[in-house]
Structure 1
Amino acid sequence: MTTTTDLPAVPAGLTARRPTEADHARVQATLGDWWGHLGGEFGDLQRALLLPRLFFQHMTDTSALVEDADGRVVAFLVGFLSPARPGTAYIHFVGIDPAARGGGLGRRLYEWFFALAADRDAREVRCITGPANRASVAFHTRMGFALEPGDREVDDIPVHSDYDGPGLDRVSFVRPLP
C-alpha cells in the first residue's frame, strides 16, 4: 500500500519528485515537441492552455515530475482527486519524452497514480484525449481504460463533440480501481 508521500518508481538514472510552480515553464516547453506538433500551431496552443500554472500551484500532491541526471524533464503526470465527485480521480495531463517511450515509464506513472488514488478512497479514474491522438487511445486501452460512449464516432472511436469548447472534441475514458 502506498502513502501520499510515495513517488513513482522510475528506471535507474531518473528521479521522480512532486512538481513545483517553478516547473511550469519547463513542462510547457516540452508540449510542442513531445506531441510532434500534432494539430499544428493550434494544437500546440490547445496543449499549452490545458496545462496552466494553477496545476503546478494546487495539484502537486497528486502529480509527479521525472527528471534525468542532468535535471532535464523526461516525464510528468498531473492528476487530482475530484472535489465534486467523491470516489473519482482524474488524470489531467501526462507527457513522456519521445526518447523515453516504450520502456514502461508511462505505465509506471499511471500505476503510481492508481495506487495513490485508491489509497485516498477513489473508486475510478477518468481522463480524456483528442481523437487524433491514436497512440494515446491505444495506450489508455492497454492500461485498462474503457472508452465511454460519445455522441458520434470517428474511425470506430466514440467522440464527445465540442467537449472542451467549439471544435474541441475529446475521447473520454474511465477505469475502475480495485
Structure 2
Amino acid sequence: MDDWWGRPIRSGLPRLFLDHFHRTSLVAEDGDRLAGFLIGFMSPSVPDAAYIHFAGVAPDHRGGGLARRLYQRFFDLAVAEHRTTVKAITSPQNRGSIAFHTAMGFTVTGPVSGYDGPAVDRIVFQLRLSPRRKTGATSPE
C-alpha cells in the first residue's frame, strides 16, 4: 500500500480491521495480485450507519471503475443490514478522495477543525442509501 500512495500509509490499516471486519470488507484481485480493497463495517453504535474506513486501488487499475464497484458492493451490504447512511472521512489534502466521493454522491462537509484531535482536520462524507426496486441493487438517494 505504501507504494500505491508514495508515502507511509500502512499504519492506517491495522490487522484488527481485517480480523474483525472481513465480512464487510472487500478485496479485488488481478490473478494473484491485489488490485483494490475496501475496508468497511456496520456501525455497532449507530444502527442505521455503515462506515468505510479505508479504500484503495492499485495505480495500474485506476480509472476503470474498480473503486466504484467496490463502493457499490459495500452499499449493497449496508442495505442488506438495514443501514441507510454510509460515512467516511479523509484529510483535506486528499483531493482525489474528495473528488471521488463527490462523484459518488456523498455530501462533503469540512474541513472539520480538530475532527481527529488538535490540528487534525478531516473532510467528512455522508451518503444516504435507498434500495432500487427493479434490480435489488442499491443506489444513492
RMSD of Structure 2 on Structure 1 (CA): 1.1
Of structures 1 and 2, the larger Rg is shown by: 1
Whole-Å separation in 2 of the counterparts to 1:93 and 1:165: 19
Whole-Å separation in 2 of the counterparts to 1:75 and 1:168: 27
Whole-Å separation in 1 of the counterparts to 2:28 and 2:119: 33
Whole-Å separation in 1 of the counterparts to 2:35 and 2:121: 28
Aligned to 2:81: 120
Q: Secondary structure at the match of 1:128?
A: strand
1:119-158 equivalences under 5 Å are 119-148=80-109, 158=110
Whole-Å separation in 1 of the counterparts to 2:77 and 2:100: 20
Answer yes or no: is 1:106 the counterpart of 2:58.
no
Q: Secondary structure at the match of 1:75?
A: strand
Shift of 1:48: 2.5
Q: Which one of 27, 48, 72 corresponds to residue 65 of structure 1?
A: 27
Using structure 1 for the length normalisation, give the TM-score: 0.70
Shift of 1:165: 2.6
- Which is richer in strand? 2
Shift of 1:61: 0.3
Q: Secondary structure at the match of 1:76?
A: strand
Greater shift, 165-174 or 54-63, is seen at 165-174
Answer yes or no: is 1:97 the counterpart of 2:50.
no
Answer yes or no: is 1:159 the counterpart of 2:138.
no
Identical residues among aligned pairs (%): 50
Q: Which one of 30, 50, 65 corresponds to residue 12 of structure 2?
A: 50
Write out per-residue CA displacement over residues 35-65 of structure 1, whole angstroms, 9 at most, x where no aligned residue: 232xxxxxx2xx3332111001100000011
Whole-Å separation in 2 of the counterparts to 1:98 and 1:66: 13
Matched length: 130
Shift of 1:160: 1.4
Whole-Å separation in 2 of the counterparts to 1:83 and 1:122: 11
Whole-Å separation in 2 of the counterparts to 1:80 and 1:53: 14
Structure 1 consecutive aligned stretches of length 4 or more whose deviation exceeds 4 Å: none
Unpaired runs of 5+ residues, structure 1, are 1-29, 38-43, 149-157
